[in-house]
Amino acid sequence: MTDDLPRVRLMPKANARAIRHGFPWIYANELVTDRRTRALAPGSLAVLEDSGRVEMGLVAVNPASRIICRMLDRNPAAAVDQSWFAARISRALALRARLYDQPFYRLVHAEADGLPGVVIDRFGDAAVIQPNAAWAEALVEELAAALVEVTGVRTVLKNASGRTRALEGLDDASAVLVGTAPDGPVPVPMNGATYMADLTGGQKTGLFYDQRPNHAFAARLVTPGARVLDVFSHVGGFALAMLAAGAGRALSVDGSVPALALAEAGAAAAGTAERFQTRQGDAFEVMTALAAEGAEFDVVICDPPAFAPNKQALEAGLRAYERVARLAAALVAPGGYLGLCSCSHAADLSKFRGASARGIGKAGRQAQLLHSGFAGPDHPQLPQLAETAYLKALFFRL
């Protein structure tokens, strides 16, 4: 019953229409934050009212966060329990089962799948949850139980490394929620390659599924014997897909020794180890050194971390993307291909494209833009929330 829950109210200046039309967040400056509201424990559930006290839905409240409320259900009387989670996960699973013939994908993509702040990646019989909002942390046991009920996975891990957890006042203690952690990396088949995902010690959940369609497009650019360079490669994302497509040799560059070791294990698992090399170091320094060595590649891909994670970092981030493009373009053989990626939601497609074009121009190269790629359909976008359209990939012929 809604009478059993606390109530929070929008200020008159808040954009109630946007919330009614699907925007899932209420910012702290849009909510009446009286003493009673400020006293709510992070993750508390409450009924949201507009400034006229008309009920709008059920929200999760975190007085310590800039996003003070997240819309959970348009029904203010909804009961957020295992059955509620199971219904959301079932809907998410139905989409992935239609899209993929093997159970390796992002199963839940936060707000776009109706679970604000929750990411779940599936790796066959194992799944990794990132509860990046206080309400999900408080209900993570019910969430894990629903996940097992719906999918039948035998292992559920909690990864607490998400940057946004700190903004929610949450700790960074990961845990095994169901079953036992895998003894070693989990092999993941994608685009004809094999990737090794470290579910307990790797970045985020262990693997980035979002680039899957962009890996596939890069593989289409490869001719037999092609020389390819994958910079900021993590566990070999683009390089392994291009090797599977027939590249003659591939070089992966990353700052992480463990990530490169996983990339080498993936190449070995796919039978392409003899054509695969790695180079550990700062990506900018390595690209500069490769140019000095006169190295040249038929396909060069750069997939850096988020240089512009927020608006404050935008200008510096765009300069960094421009520098990546300039250094990478110098390594592309005439008639070769350059792929540039950004996972910064603050740098929209137009700004990222502009920075990339400036960098290519400063390298003295001319380019054709062939393709603009985005995250795969297991990372659906919520149209009302620009942050869900974070990944961009641009492919050029130089």
Domains of the chain, earliest start first: 2-73 (2.30.130.10), 82-178 (3.30.750.80), 186-397 (3.40.50.150)
Which helix (H) or strand (E) covers residue 84, if one does?
helix 82-99
Angular region, 281: left φ>0, alpha ψ -120 to 50, beta rest: left
What average pLDDT is seen over the chain?
Answer: 95
Q: Find the mean pLDDT for residues 284-289.
A: 98
Q: Enter the pTM of the model.
A: 0.94
Q: Do 230 and 239 touch, CB atoms closer than 8 A?
A: yes
Which residues 6+ apart lie within 8 Å of 353 measured at CB?
369, 372, 392, 394
Q: What is the pLDDT of residues 208-246, one digit of tens each?
A: 999 999 999 999 999 999 999 999 999 999 999 999 999
Beta strand ranges found along the chain (DSSP E): 7-9, 25-27, 44-49, 55-61, 67-73, 104-109, 118-123, 126-131, 155-158, 175-178, 186-190, 193-197, 227-231, 249-254, 276-280, 297-302, 332-342, 368-373, 392-397
Closest CA to 115 of 124, 104, 106, 123: 106
Q: Are strands 227-231 and 297-302 parallel, antiparallel or unpaired?
A: parallel
**Which of 199-208, 216-225, 252-261, 279-288 has the weakest average pLDDT?**
199-208
Q: What is the pLDDT of residues 354-394, one digit of tens each?
A: 999 999 999 999 999 999 999 999 999 999 998 888 999 99
pLDDT at residue 286 is higher than 80:
yes
Q: What is the pLDDT of residues 65-75, one digit of tens each?
A: 999 999 999 99
Concerning whether 343 is annotated as a catalytic residue, the answer is yes
Closest CA to 190 of 147, 244, 247: 244
CB contact burial 185-207 (16+ within 10 A = b; e otherwise):
bbbbebbebbbbbbbeebbebbb
Q: Report the pLDDT value the prediction gives residue 201, as an integer from 0 to 100.
A: 81
What is the rounded CA–CA span in Å between residue 254 and residue 282? Answer: 7
Q: Report the pLDDT value the prediction gives residue 2, as an integer from 0 to 100.
A: 64
Q: Find the mean pLDDT for residues 21-37.
A: 95
Candidates 69, 302, 341, 343; catalytic one: 343
